[in-house]
């Protein structure tokens, strides 16, 4: 409670943790449905940025069903649940992955974490506020769908990447996710990553279909950041519990992830402050989900 009062006072004063270091770039990665390769995309984009010399933090925010650590072959002793219950510190929970990536693992099979309370969100946000001083970019691997946790983590980030596959159900559910974020929170800017396509032309066509409908009926902006080509090395890497960029860096999929990461790094973050580590906890204080 003392921590909560302190953070509320800081919010009222417009204060916060200050540093000469550039603000951490916070990107939420979501999907309307599961099975489209969202978590795999998060892991490989993180490796791509780490290979570019960036300090990267991954937050597994698929609470209750987290598997980012399993995908990367890690066996953390503690997870986000231990942190939120005050049983372990952030330093004890965070584990190191390939290329020095820092990972905050979620719990798996813990139902009470599937809907965080305002107090738990405040606790998490206050921990991440300090961690933001140590990293250049943070990826939030949200759950699929439109649960309150998914909406919270999307609106706590500066940028939202929606991952889709060419399947019609994936596009329909992605549209539903963007529609809810628009109607409930006024979010109008999204980035689209099309996964598991046969050709780059197919990726552009999938984007064109979704963006035309979204822009016409929702009046939102959907930017295309690229596609990932179908690659048999991806399931091979999954079996090895490695990122494909780690074990097959010259594969078709790896080259796609590297191209997407370079594109993201060359774009500027919107000057309209919606999220970011230095403002993450303010979302907890001012939003109802």
pLDDT above 90 coverage of the chain, percent: 56
Q: Could you say which of 3.40.109.10, 3.20.20.20, 3.20.20.140, 3.40.50.300 is the CATH number of the domain covering 2-11+23-278?
A: 3.40.50.300
Any idea what DSSP says for residue 140?
Answer: E
3-state secondary structure of 17: coil
The 10s digit of each residue's pLDDT in 80-132 is 888 888 898 888 999 999 999 999 988 664 545 556 777 777 777 777 776 65
Angle 123-127-131 from CA coordinates, rounded to 5°: 160
Specify the residue for token string 């990367």: 72
pLDDT confidence of residue 130: 63
| Joined tokens for residue 174 | 């992605």
Burial tier of 232 (Cβ tally within 10 Å: 0-12, 13-18, 19+): exposed
Q: Residues 59, 128: contact at Cβ < 8 Å?
A: yes
* 279, pLDDT greater than 60: no
pLDDT confidence of residue 64: 60
The 10s digit of each residue's pLDDT in 28-79 is 999 999 999 999 999 999 999 999 999 999 999 887 666 888 899 998 899 8
**C-alpha dihedral over 168, 172, 173, 178, to 10 degrees?**
140
* 284, pLDDT greater than 60: no
Averaged pLDDT, 247-264: 98
- Per 3-state DSSP, the chain is made up of helix, strand and coil in percentages (nearest 5) of 50, 20, 30
Instruction: Tell me the CA end-to-end span of the chain in Å, nearest whole number.
Output: 21
Alpha helices (H) along 112-242: 118-131, 148-155, 168-185, 200-217, 233-239
Q: How confident is the model at residue 256 (pLDDT cuts 50, 70, 90)?
A: very high
pLDDT confidence of residue 144: 87
pLDDT confidence of residue 120: 77
What does the alpha-carbon distance between residue 201 and residue 205 come to, in Å, rounded to a whole number? 6
* 1, pLDDT greater than 70: no
pLDDT confidence of residue 131: 61
**C-alpha dihedral over 139, 94, 144, 278, to 10 degrees?**
-50
Q: Residues 99, 50: contact at Cβ < 8 Å?
A: yes
Q: How confident is the model at residue 281 (pLDDT cuts 50, 70, 90)?
A: very low
pLDDT confidence of residue 274: 54
pTM for this prediction:
0.86
Mean model confidence pLDDT for the chain: 84
* 224, pLDDT greater than 80: yes
């Amino acid at each position: 409670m003392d921590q909560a009062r302190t953070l509320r006072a800081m919010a009222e004063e417009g204060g916060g943790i200050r540093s000469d270091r550039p603000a951490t770039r916070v990107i939420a990665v979501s999907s309307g449905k599961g099975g489209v390769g969202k978590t795999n995309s998060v892991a490989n984009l993180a490796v791509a940025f780490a290979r570019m010399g960036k300090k990267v933090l991954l937050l597994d925010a698929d609470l209750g069903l987290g598997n980012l650590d399993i995908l990367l072959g890690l066996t953390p002793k503690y997870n986000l649940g231990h942190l939120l219950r005050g049983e372990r510190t952030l330093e004890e929970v965070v584990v190191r992955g390939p290329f020095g990536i820092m990972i905050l693992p979620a719990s798996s099979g813990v139902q009470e974490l599937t809907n965080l309370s305002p107090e738990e969100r405040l606790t998490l946000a206050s921990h991440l506020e300090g961690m933001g001083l140590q990293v250049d970019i943070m990826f939030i691997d949200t759950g699929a769908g439109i649960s309150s946790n998914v909406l919270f983590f999307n609106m706590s980030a500066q940028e939202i990447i929606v991952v889709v596959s060419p399947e019609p159900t994936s596009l329909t559910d992605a549209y539903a996710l963007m529609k809810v974020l628009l109607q409930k929170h006024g979010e109008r800017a999204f980035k689209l990553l099309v996964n598991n396509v046969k050709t780059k032309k197919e990726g552009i066509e999938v984007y064109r279909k979704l963006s035309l409908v979204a822009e016409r009926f929702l009046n939102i902006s959907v930017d295309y950041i690229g596609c990932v080509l179908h690659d048999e090395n991806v399931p091979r890497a999954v079996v090895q519990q490695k990122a494909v960029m780690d074990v097959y860096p010259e594969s078709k999929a790896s080259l796609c992830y590297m191209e997407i990461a370079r594109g993201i790094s060359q774009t500027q973050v919107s000057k309209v402050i919606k999220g970011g580590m230095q403002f993450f906890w303010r979302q907890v204080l001012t939003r109802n989900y």
